[in-house]
Amino acid sequence: MNFEFSPTLPSGTRLVACVADKDALPEGIEATLGEGARSARFKGRPGELFEGFVERDGAVVRVALAGAGEADSEDRTANLEKAGAALAARYLTSGETTLTIDFSAANLPADAIAAVLLGLRLRAWRHDAYRTRLKDEQKRSLETVVAVGGPDGAEAAWADAAALADGVEFTRELVTEPPNKVYPLSFVEKCREAFDGTGAELTVLDEDEMARLGMGALLGVGQGSAQPSRLLAIRWNGGGDEAPTVFVGKGVTFDTGGISLKPGAGMEDMKWDMGGAGAVVGGMLAIARRKAKANVVGVVGLVENMPDGNAIRPGDILTSMSGQTIEVINTDAEGRLVLCDALHWAQKEYSPARIVDFATLTGAMVISLGHEHAGVFANDDSLAEDLLAAGRASGDKLWRMPLDPAYDKLIDSQIADMKNVGPRPAGSITAAQFLQRFIDKGVAWAHCDVAGMVWADKPGATWDKGATGYGARLIDRFVRNTLEG
């Protein structure tokens, strides 16, 4: 989709939209349009939409009003995004090819206009690559959005927001692609293409290199698959000499559960078990595309978990890169095995100031928080508060969960240093306690369990059904808030 800026309405405009605050119709609209809006009980609530037809200069023009809520709301940015998203949802397949948004009378600052356009672009994202029999009315027709009458700085604000949209859309693409298209090797290649020309440095470890480093936990998960495992690191140096902040993602490109095989019903959803890795690389792409003034590294462990004759078994003992041994109780508790080696390697390789991991780690997190918040566990209160604040600002919401030594006994093993899974109670907490055992003393660390957030069964504020892109915005906002000031 193309986004253009113009000082005036282009000639021949057929479809015009205006942003309307709650209980305040835009100035200068035709009386008939205003009367129609009032008759339809249009109030300008966030995401509410009204449209009508008016005559202008002898031509019939379609005019839409998109609600943005209270002008002084603390959720103003999110509400402006909802206004843009409502326009995308209505006109993406409408047959119209161009949508003009008239900001002339809105008196919105540059960042507010960027928010409207961001919401529109994110809601317009679809993945139709494999849909060959769409009817004409199902095909996307909207190609161009023209922003009219914005203040100075609107284009620059949009360029910054567009970089963020690039990252979110990359996350969604990776999460949406089927597992025969996205597997460890192709994930790496897609990242090479996406980051080409950005200035980011990519490092890839193959299985031989990981074996030499002793990554027995990560390699153990992937040893039942015909697809070789990989570790990918993406480094962005934009902030001088300070130690980097490191984000680590779980990249299980498909999860059958291994020998502890999942039920067949719904197993197709496990293509998004790499949602944590998708969030990390999407956040890194946004950071690199907008040339963030910060030092940031993204590390993702990429494996496929399959029930081959060579797969690990319940009862096996794996030795992690840290030297700690793990008794495998359930091969479907594989994400923590991938993360523990990736976390250890990232600390040794980069000596991070802070380290945060993202993973679709436990179904128990969905039971705890549903699909409204991801859970965050942290050994550092300041880091936890910074992540919570970034979640509120970005819309990728988090809720803090407990870490406590009392839970450690639930994953103690009689024949190894630990088990990879505890009993059913406190399943998300014991998973976090497991990961904490691989964090070096004095390192500020947080774990984000995003199991309920990377995929949606119904449309949301700025996404359709399917991949939400969760995590990319959170990472970008965290970097803006804590590293760029």
Binding residues for Mn(2+): 250, 255, 273, 332, 334
Answer whether 439's CB lies under 8 Å from 354's CB: no
Beta bridge partners of 146: 4, 100
- Residues belonging to the binding site are 250, 255, 273, 332, 334
DSSP letters, 287-323, are HHHTT-SSEEEEEEEEEEE---TTS--TT-EEE-TTS
Q: Beta-carbon neighbour count of residue 192 at 10 Å?
A: 12
Angle, in degrees to the nearest 10, between helices 154-176 and 472-482: 140
CA 172 to chain centre: 7
Answer whether 155's CB lies under 8 Å from 12's CB: no
Answer whether 368's CB lies under 8 Å from 456's CB: no
Would you state the torsion angle of the CA atoms of residues 184, 274, 242, 395, taken in this order, to the nearest 10 degrees?
Answer: 150
> In whole angstroms, what is the distance from residue 260 CA to residue 313 CA?
8
> Annotated catalytic residue: which of 336, 354, 419, 477?
336
Q: Which residues contact 166 (CB under 8 A, 6 or more apart)?
A: 285, 286, 289
Q: Which two tokens stand for residue 189?
A: 């290649």
Note if 409 is an active site residue: no
Note if 140 is an active site residue: no
> Annotated catalytic residue: which of 262, 397, 400, 437?
262
Catalytic residues: 262, 336
